[in-house]
Structure 1
Amino acid sequence: MSSRLTTIKEKAVSLARADHGCLLVLSFAANLLTFALTLVSSQFPLFDASPHVLLPPPPHFSLRHTLASAVLRWDAFHFAHIAREGYVYEYEWAFLPGVPWIMSHIVHLGPVLGRSARAAPRWELLLSRALWSSILSMFSAHALYDLTALQFGSRPIALLAALLSLLPSSPVTLRIAGYTETFFTLSSYQGMLCCAKKQWLWATFCFMLASAFRSNGILLSGFILWGLVVEPLLESSKIRVGRTLYAAALCALVLAPFVYYQYVAYRLFCLNVPSPAPWCAASPPSIYTYVQRKYWNSGFLLYWTRQQIPNFLLGAPPLILLFTFTLRYIRLALLPRLHAFISPPTPTGAKSSDAPTPPFLPRSIAPHVIHALILSLLLLFASHTQIVLRAAASMPLTYWAAAWLLVERPAWGRWWVGWSVIWGAVSCVLWGVFLPPA
């Protein structure tokens, strides 16, 4: 019997390795296609000539200039300037220091939250070397595969979800532009995988990295809170004080990079200055919230204007997918579990837990569902809604929901794959010619 189990495990490991190899090859091919399409598109006339102002065309062909010019779009201007000069302008504090730090240290060691004492690196060098982030994006599919296999206990579902992740709704920002998505997605996936394995310290470290790149990284602390406090409570109806305090400490560490970022700004703009900034008197004082509202008009329903209807339509496909799956899971899996938790014990007989669990409704993905629902609501009501095209890749639930469509709603699943392919290609062209969405 033991030899048979060993054989089965060895076969499973062998199949997983084969899947990983396949995903690596396909990820490389997807990155190459994204890069080629974006590079070709960047040679067309630009809607906005800002890249040519910052990087004037050289008299002779330069590969470095060509690469740098192709990725110099939208937020890349801000990331590269912060990496080169530090936080000079107030609006730049809307961008967390993760990407600028990496850009700066790829070229040379130097501070980001302040001016470097060394010579500032050339724009071309910063931007062209940021393309190395595409290597990291190739490992996101691996992490998603492992996470899915652990949560669903199914190799086919794991492979399907990982393959679907090769069709993100914003391939340029995820793969080649050196944006936050590359680093945030990989660190989020790895942290979620560590949570599934109950490796809480490693999960905390990964989530800390994520929160240094995007502000919504602080929401990832919910996975630790769920695993250490909520899940044991639902299972045993007991609250363990030690575990709760441990979870609180780990969650505080996840929030630490974002809080420290706010603290640095508070010292610069609020302490020992003749005229403190307007946001210093807020409770709590947050430069991030202030600049997002002042310069990007982010806030509850502030984006809900007639002029933004096209952006809502662009973000509709992933939002509809996420809301459909999360609300279905809550109705069919989470609410019955919560009802069973608060209701009296059932009479002697078959337990509800004995019933087979549908393949896409495992208990273990509950924190993913809650996280995706909260983030989707924030994107819909309090952010630039089309950002969901970039943020969806960091939520495994996006690809689990797409896999569910393909398996249980094949017609809609084929529609999703078709939209992902077409829109992914179109978004590369739009990026190349400097047209929204960003």
Structure 2
Amino acid sequence: MGLTPDDHRQILRRLSWASAGLYGLVRCLSSSLSLFDESPLLIHNKFLRWDLIHFAAIADQGYTYEEQWAFLPGAPLFMYISKYLVGFATNNVLACEIFTSVALSLLAFESIQTLYNLSLLHLKSPRLALLASALALLPSSPVTFFFVPYNEPFFTFLSYKGMHACATQQWTKAALFFAVASTFRSNGILLAGFLLWGLLVQPFMTGKRIYISTLIRSTILTAIIFVPFISYQAIAYMIFCLDKPISNPVSWRNKFPPSIYTHVQSKYWNVGFLRYWTVSQVPNFVIAVPPMALIFAYAGHHLRSVSKIFLAEGLRQTPSVKFQNALFITPHALHALLFSSILLFASHTQIVLRLAASMPFTYWAAAWLYIEYPRLGGVWVTWSLMWGLISTILWATFLPPA
């Protein structure tokens, strides 16, 4: 008798503890090494790195500097609540760090379980779902997946939950998960595509009629997802534009749309189309190659396969089971392709190492590679393990990439 899905879930729980334990041990051992940048010591918190320094400042004092508006409020709010629950009670930075690490590890474990359940629905194979979920326990940024209150662990959890809600046609629930995800990363608005696909595109492609009520529902649910990000922009507009004298307007006031987020990202982080494509950034592009190449390769493979089936069958009332199953994966392929393209051409490309985990498609692609091309699959597993360990040491010593 073979293993059941419940057996697989139990295996994944054990593997989750093992993975978190391995990377946690490496992080602890690496913390004894000298810091490349000792700025965390100046603010009396040796555990803060990179964006966490900004998050902590926002959590303590609110948005006091223009450049801080590059960070959405989700992660700072979590840090504020954590400090209130633990830090104020114990006045101990270490206690706060332990609480945060344990809480985020448990969140990551639940993300893996959700990934398995989602994979089970879409891949139609318990063994394939287990493989993909096990590969997800070798993330390319273990520290930001398991231990620290970056945006990514929350964004990954909420994205997975929303995608699973879409897969089970719980559209309102999905919209709420995606809306909360948008309080952590602006990319959360792209998740609206899963709702539009499930409510409009997939029914159309399988020959079903689209009713006006469905169009209205889709519009409302999509608007819900956009509300947090738009509200964030509106608050900034009121603070910087309406409360300031007209004689001293901010530079982005008259732009359309008047977005402080895009202004700050461009001004302070040099984000924009091809602005990151410089010789000095070549190392960051190189380390981003493995996940980027995997996502683009599998997305191309899947979309070619779906196109062939669609051209052969066309729109009909009773599409084949093969076509229907392929359509479940297609929105994930399109989302991963669009998301990765934005990271490649108009962002800091190396952050795909943190964000790849938020896309189930990454690990479905890894499972495909492992099965169809075992040698390359082995290379992927080796790279994932080695880079995960290296990036953990780099994080502990405050070395890039962030």
User: Do the aligned partners of 1:141 and 1:162 also contact (CA within 8 Å) in 2?
Assistant: yes
Of 367, 377, 396, the residue aligned with 1:413 is 377
Per-residue deviation, residues 88-136 of structure 1 (Å, max 9, x unmatched): 1111111100011111112338xxxxxxxx99x8866655543222221
Of 366, 386, 402, the residue aligned with 1:422 is 386
Partner of 2:76: 100
Write out aligned runs for 1:332-351 (5 A).
332-334=305-307, 336-337=309-310, 340-341=313-314
Partner of 1:300: 273
Structure 1: distance between partners of 2:211 and 2:310: 20
Of 244, 250, 266, the residue aligned with 1:277 is 250
Partner of 1:37: 26
Establish whether residue 145 from structure 1 lines up as the match of residue 116 from structure 2: yes
Please report how far the alpha carbon of residue 315 of structure 1 lies from its aligned counterpart in structure 2 after TM superposition.
0.4
- Partner of 1:278: helix, strand, or coil? coil
Of 54, 69, 73, the residue aligned with 2:46 is 69
User: Do the aligned partners of 2:119 and 2:129 also contact (CA within 8 Å) in 1?
Assistant: yes
Of 9, 15, 20, the residue aligned with 1:20 is 9
Partner of 2:300: 327
User: Do the aligned partners of 1:300 and 1:381 also contact (CA within 8 Å) in 2?
Assistant: yes
Of 100, 111, 114, the residue aligned with 1:130 is 100
- Partner of 1:337: helix, strand, or coil? helix
Please report how far the alpha carbon of residue 198 of structure 1 lies from its aligned counterpart in structure 2 after TM superposition.
0.3
Structure 1: distance between partners of 2:34 and 2:369: 39
Of 278, 283, 286, the residue aligned with 1:310 is 283
- Partner of 2:206: helix, strand, or coil? helix
Structure 1: distance between partners of 2:235 and 2:122: 39
User: Do the aligned partners of 1:143 and 1:189 also contact (CA within 8 Å) in 2?
Assistant: yes
Structure 2: distance between partners of 1:288 and 1:220: 19
Q: Which moved more, 1:235-244 or 1:265-274?
A: 235-244
User: Do the aligned partners of 1:185 and 1:394 also contact (CA within 8 Å) in 2?
Assistant: yes
Letter in 2 for 1:236: G
Letter in 2 for 1:380: L
Give the direction of change, closer, same or farther, for the CA distance of 1:204–1:165 in structure 2 (3 Å limit).
same
- Partner of 1:280: helix, strand, or coil? coil
Partner of 1:287: 260
User: Do the aligned partners of 2:141 and 2:354 also contact (CA within 8 Å) in 1?
Assistant: yes
Please report how far the alpha carbon of residue 54 of structure 1 lies from its aligned counterpart in structure 2 after TM superposition.
1.4
Structure 2: distance between partners of 1:373 and 1:38: 32
- Partner of 1:138: helix, strand, or coil? helix
Please report how far the alpha carbon of residue 334 of structure 1 lies from its aligned counterpart in structure 2 after TM superposition.
3.7
Of 338, 342, 360, the residue aligned with 1:378 is 342
Letter in 1 for 2:35: L
Give the direction of change, closer, same or farther, for the CA distance of 1:299–1:125 in structure 2 (3 Å limit).
farther
Per-residue deviation, residues 198-244 of structure 1 (Å, max 9, x unmatched): 01011111111111110100000000000001111111253321101
User: Do the aligned partners of 1:80 and 1:123 also contact (CA within 8 Å) in 2?
Assistant: no
Per-residue deviation, residues 235-270 of structure 1 (Å, max 9, x unmatched): 125332110110110010011111111111011001
Please report how far the alpha carbon of residue 39 of structure 1 lies from its aligned counterpart in structure 2 after TM superposition.
1.8
- Partner of 2:253: helix, strand, or coil? helix
Structure 2: distance between partners of 1:335 and 1:93: 45
Letter in 2 for 1:398: T
Partner of 1:48: 37
Partner of 2:320: 353
Give the direction of change, closer, same or farther, for the CA distance of 1:339–1:273 in structure 2 (3 Å limit).
farther
User: Do the aligned partners of 1:165 and 1:393 also contact (CA within 8 Å) in 2?
Assistant: yes
Give the direction of change, closer, same or farther, for the CA distance of 1:92–1:28 in structure 2 (3 Å limit).
same
Establish whether residue 90 from structure 1 lines up as the match of residue 90 from structure 2: no
Letter in 2 for 1:200: W
User: Do the aligned partners of 1:104 and 1:126 also contact (CA within 8 Å) in 2?
Assistant: no
Structure 2: distance between partners of 1:129 and 1:153: 37
Structure 1: distance between partners of 2:283 and 2:312: 40
Runs of 4+ with deviation above 4 angstroms: 121-128
Establish whether residue 436 from structure 1 lines up as the match of residue 384 from structure 2: no
Of 370, 393, 400, the residue aligned with 2:364 is 400
Please report how far the alpha carbon of residue 35 of structure 1 lies from its aligned counterpart in structure 2 after TM superposition.
1.5
Letter in 1 for 2:331: P
Could you tell me which runs of 5 or more consecutive residues in structure 2 were left unpaired when the two chains were aligned. Answer: none
Structure 1: distance between partners of 2:40 and 2:197: 45
- Partner of 1:46: helix, strand, or coil? coil
Structure 1: distance between partners of 2:166 and 2:343: 25
Partner of 1:206: 177
Q: How many residues align?
A: 396
Q: Which moved more, 1:320-329 or 1:99-108?
A: 99-108
Structure 2: distance between partners of 1:335 and 1:166: 33
User: Do the aligned partners of 2:309 and 2:323 also contact (CA within 8 Å) in 1?
Assistant: no
Structure 2: distance between partners of 1:427 and 1:149: 30
Per-residue deviation, residues 146-166 of structure 1 (Å, max 9, x unmatched): 000001111001100110000
TM-score (norm 1): 0.86
Structure 2: distance between partners of 1:393 and 1:78: 23
Structure 2: distance between partners of 1:88 and 1:127: 24
Write out aligned runs for 1:158-173 (5 A).
158-173=129-144
Q: Which moved more, 1:236-245 or 1:284-293?
A: 236-245
Give the direction of change, closer, same or farther, for the CA distance of 1:108–1:84 in structure 2 (3 Å limit).
same
- Partner of 2:4: helix, strand, or coil? helix
Letter in 2 for 1:205: L
Please report how far the alpha carbon of residue 385 of structure 1 lies from its aligned counterpart in structure 2 after TM superposition.
0.3
